[in-house]
Every structure is written in C-alpha cells, then in structure tokens.
C-alpha cells in the first residue's frame, strides 16, 4: 500500500444539487469526532468507474466520498441509495 492510500479520508453525504459535467454539491454527514465539519457543503465529482458505467447521482441520494486533504472537494466513489 502506498502512502497516498493511507491518508484518504472517507465521508458519507447527501446530494443537495446536481451540476453540469458530473459535479454535485454534497452536504456531509459526520461522526462525533468531526463536529466542525457537520453540515458542510463540498463540491464533489464522480469517480472514473462511475462515469465509465454511467451511474447517475440524483438529488437526495446518499453517497460515499473520498475527501481531498486540502478541503473543499471530494470524489464520489459509491452511491448508497
């Protein structure tokens, strides 16, 4: 396992708005340890495999994401509902 894979932070969120070009605004759901990020909106883009298999993400869907370490962006890796 490389160093890049060890530092990945995952989160679950709800899609609030679907934007063009596979972008979405997602509201984060966080645990008690990360209360400062509760309810934060992040700009998220679809992972390559989701684009490849034409998986659509709609408003209200719960998604699993990998957060960017610098904040503000995330990659949607799985649609939960």
CATH hierarchy code of domain 3-79: 2.40.50.140
DSSP string, 40-59: -EEEEEE-HHHHHTT----T
The answer to whether the beta carbons of residues 40 and 34 sit under 8 Å apart is no
Nearest to 40 by CA among 6, 68, 13: 13
Question: Which residue is associated with the tokens 């503000």?
Answer: 72
* Tens digit of pLDDT at every position of the chain (81 positions): 455 556 678 899 999 999 999 999 999 987 655 566 667 899 999 999 999 999 999 999 999 999 998 877 999 999 998
| Whole-structure pTM value | 0.81
Domain ranges of the chain: 3-79
């Amino acid at each position: 396992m490389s160093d890049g894979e060890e530092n990945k932070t995952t989160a679950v969120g709800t899609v609030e708005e679907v934007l063009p070009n596979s972008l979405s605004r997602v509201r984060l759901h966080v645990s008690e340890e990360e209360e400062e990020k509760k309810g934060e909106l992040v700009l998220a883009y679809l992972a390559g495999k989701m684009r490849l298999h034409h998986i659509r993400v709609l408003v209200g869907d719960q998604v699993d994401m990998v957060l960017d370490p610098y904040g503000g962006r995330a990659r949607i890796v799985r649609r939960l509902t």
